Amino acid sequence: MSASGTAAAGQVEHMLRQVTPGRYDAYEALLRALADPAGGQVWMLLWHGQAGSPDAQYGNMDVDGLGYAPCVTSAQELAASGWSRAYEVVPARDVARALFPDRWGIWLNPHAPGGGVGIPWLDLRRIATGLDRMPAGPLRLSEPAIEIPQFYALLTQNAHRTPAVRSLRRAWVQPALGAPYLAIGLDLYDTSQPSVEAVRAMMQQSVGVVPDGLPVSTVAMSDEYDPVSMWLRANARPFYAREAHAPAAPSSAAPQGGYGYPAPRAY
């Protein structure tokens, strides 16, 4: 390992020692050390096979119903763990990309006093896709309590004029670190470039009436891995649904109304 790689590995272990319950700032610093492209390597413990072989298989742990692959943070920790099977040294970013789609996390140094630290799959996704693109968890999600009827009315009007939009939902998101924000869940008929551009224009035309200082973000309802999107699908009814706003047919009843981790950004 190069000197810079050794320094990065040392940074991972340094930040790991700072993590204690409730220290979300230290945990976030650990994620940044793991995401560092100059280092951030982990020693993945192989239950079967050898490093690079087609039958190589990571070990697994179940903690509170969530799956984790155990790993260690240095050759010294590997020796201390007493692991006698094979292992492979991999950038944490690569591990994150491989594991999060199957909703697996990693567990750092499970042999250490106190049991080490688990990185759940939601945070592996942040490592894989960019920590600054999604809010720091754990998230507190709820129905928005802030009253901004002018914004919702204008957004609903503009959504009805944007054929790509099927429905809109909303949530109040309070990250573990950073300012809370209003998330708008976008349920689209398709995600072609023209549709995405039309929806971006819809948001630009609507956010001008949002009170100063209130961050607004969007999340795709089709994103099955985003925690805000998952919460919205499970807990929030649409405040706009195209079918519910369609005019009633003369010979039939009117159609019945049916039914966020990107960081806040300006439109």
Q: Domain-by-domain residue ranges, the chain? A: 3-133, 140-245
Q: How far apart are CA 73 and CA 155, in angstroms?
A: 48
Domain 140-245, classified CATH 1.10.10, yes or no: no
Average pLDDT over residues 199-226: 96
Whether the CB-CB separation of 40 and 92 falls below 8 Å is answered with: yes
22 secondary structure, DSSP code: T
Rounded (10°) angle between helices 193-206 and 149-160 = 150
pLDDT at 211 over 50: yes
* pTM of the complete model: 0.82
For 192, counting Cβ atoms within 10 Å of its Cβ (0-12 exposed, 13-18 middle, 19+ buried), the class is: exposed
Rg of the Cα trace of the chain? 22
Q: What would the pLDDT profile of 81-140 be if each residue is shown by its tens digit? A: 999 999 999 999 999 999 999 999 999 999 999 999 999 999 999 999 999 989 998 999
Sign of CA pseudo-dihedral 197, 198, 203, 208 = positive
Q: How far apart are CA 170 and CA 231, in angstroms?
A: 10
Q: How far apart are CA 262 and CA 264, in angstroms?
A: 6
Confidence of residue 56 (pLDDT cuts 50, 70, 90): confident
Instruction: Determine the pLDDT at residue 37.
Output: 86
Q: How far apart are CA 136 and CA 138, in angstroms?
A: 7
